[in-house]
Structure 1
Amino acid sequence: MDTFLLDSGGFIQRFIEWIINYGGLYILLLIVFAETGLFVGFFFPGDSLLFAAGIYMDDLTRELFNLDSNAPVHSYQWIVIMIMVMIASILGNIAGYWFGRKAGPLLYERKETWLFKRKHLIRAKEFYDRYGKGTIFLAKFLPIIRTFAPIVGGMVKMPRPIFTFYNIIGSICWVAIMMLGGHFLESWAQRKFDFSLKDHIEAITIGIILVTTLPVLYKLFFNRNKRDTTVPPANNKINP
């Protein structure tokens, strides 16, 4: 989850710059795929990393297209980057959906570890019960739920065309909002105030973490039902 980025002392800026310099776009694609498709990826910093990638969009574009550091960047070039990230998100959800269909119910019997907590799966199932098929779209904007929603979709045998529709629309909206938000806010700040958001990436990232994570953490830890979530009750079991 995003909380591993909360250390002070410029760690976040160094982390982002490390990603740009050592793999850049490809590390971003891997993280997006893992967070949306692998149950062990729930702790990855999806929202904040996508927003930061938007701030560093020009750097990522120059890296991908092998441009000089001062070369101009065209809109079609960073659109290519966003499409690649969207595809990674779509494929990640497909992987989670496939895993849910094949082995998802067995997760209720799986031994808990620091990477896997059954309560996250149960909360995702409760979210699905409340919002139905739209969960696949809405979950894109909710840490933790984002990772487990496609697995639950596979468990309940959501029809593939419906899952694919919400998967594609959700991935497009999530990536576009986060990356374009970072990109255009960076451009606006440079034009209006003559400073770069890269110099304030820690505060921006922590703000995104608080906005996106606190509501989920509240739901998970402070607004629990009285029932024990260590063993799923009958109404939480998967019924295809």
Structure 2
Amino acid sequence: MEYLTAFIDIILHLDKHLEFLVEQYGHWIYVILFAIIFSETGFVVTAFLPGDSLLFVAGGLAALGGMDIYLLLAILVAAAVFGNALNYQIGRFLGPKVFQWENSHFFNKAALVKTQAFYEKHGGKTLVISRFLPLFRTFAPFVAGIGAMAWARFIFFTLLGALAWVLCLTLAGYFFGNLPWVRQNLNVVILGIIVVSLLPVLIGWYQHWRTSA
């Protein structure tokens, strides 16, 4: 039982255990990171997995020599793209009937409904914007699949969003993640990065609101 509890703790808080895992598993850490990011974006029932903080911490460890930053970036982008692609196909297969599912520990119906409303308003941009929003980034490709978004259009926005998300957070961790103040206030720093990343979108919304008001 203790081993199971420890394993679950590592999975749920992988960002905090990442340095230990790099020391223990060496190059296998790339496979572990791929699996976590792929799962977080590929299945609506694994939205609880770490995302933003994991990318940031991974970048910080790469700066210390624990991982190759170029290989790390390539693997994380690939995981994000392939995860979205799988989620899209699942949504395409299941169709609108998922809106009849009940809320549970593994399925957040409220997040699905909100993502659907956001998708209807912003279309393909949802796949880019939602990358910086936990829960929403897991449901965005799923909703795109339900809505039968054109595959080429889906892949374009998915790739754009994956590049923006991975490069922004991982490189931020690479250049600033090992500063003492940053390590002590990790959640605040990541939230700040997300806000700055979304600033152009927020400004656009504000300008649109002023124009239509």
TM normalised by structure 2 equals 0.75
1:12 and 1:199, CA in 2 relative to 1: closer, same or farther beyond 3 A? farther
SS in 2 for 1:158: coil
1:162 and 1:13, CA in 2 relative to 1: closer, same or farther beyond 3 A? closer
Higher relative contact order (CA 8 A, sep 6+): 1
1:91 alignment partner in structure 2: 82
Matches of 2:39 and 2:180, distance apart in 1: 25
1:48 and 1:166, CA in 2 relative to 1: closer, same or farther beyond 3 A? same
1:25/1:60 contact within 8 Å kept: no
Return the match for 2:135 from 144, 153, 164.
Answer: 144
Superposed displacement of residue 33, structure 1 = 0.7
2:179 alignment partner in structure 1: 197
- Gap runs ≥5 in structure 2: 1-12, 196-213
Q: Residues 25-44 of structure 1 correspond to what in structure 2 (within 5 A)?
A: 25-44=30-49
- Gap runs ≥5 in structure 1: 1-10, 62-76, 187-195, 214-240
Matches of 2:171 and 2:193, distance apart in 1: 18
Q: Residues 1-16 of structure 1 correspond to what in structure 2 (within 5 A)?
A: 14-16=16-18
Give the AA of the match of 2:179: L
1:199 and 1:118, CA in 2 relative to 1: closer, same or farther beyond 3 A? same
1:55/1:198 contact within 8 Å kept: no
May I ask how many residue pairs the two structures share in their alignment? 179
Larger helix fraction of residues? 2
Root-mean-square deviation over aligned CA pairs: 2.4
Query: Which has the greater radius of gyration?
Result: 1
Matches of 2:36 and 2:103, distance apart in 1: 23
2:51 alignment partner in structure 1: 46
Identity %: 30
Give the AA of the match of 2:43: L
TM normalised by structure 1 equals 0.67
Superposed displacement of residue 169, structure 1 = 1.1
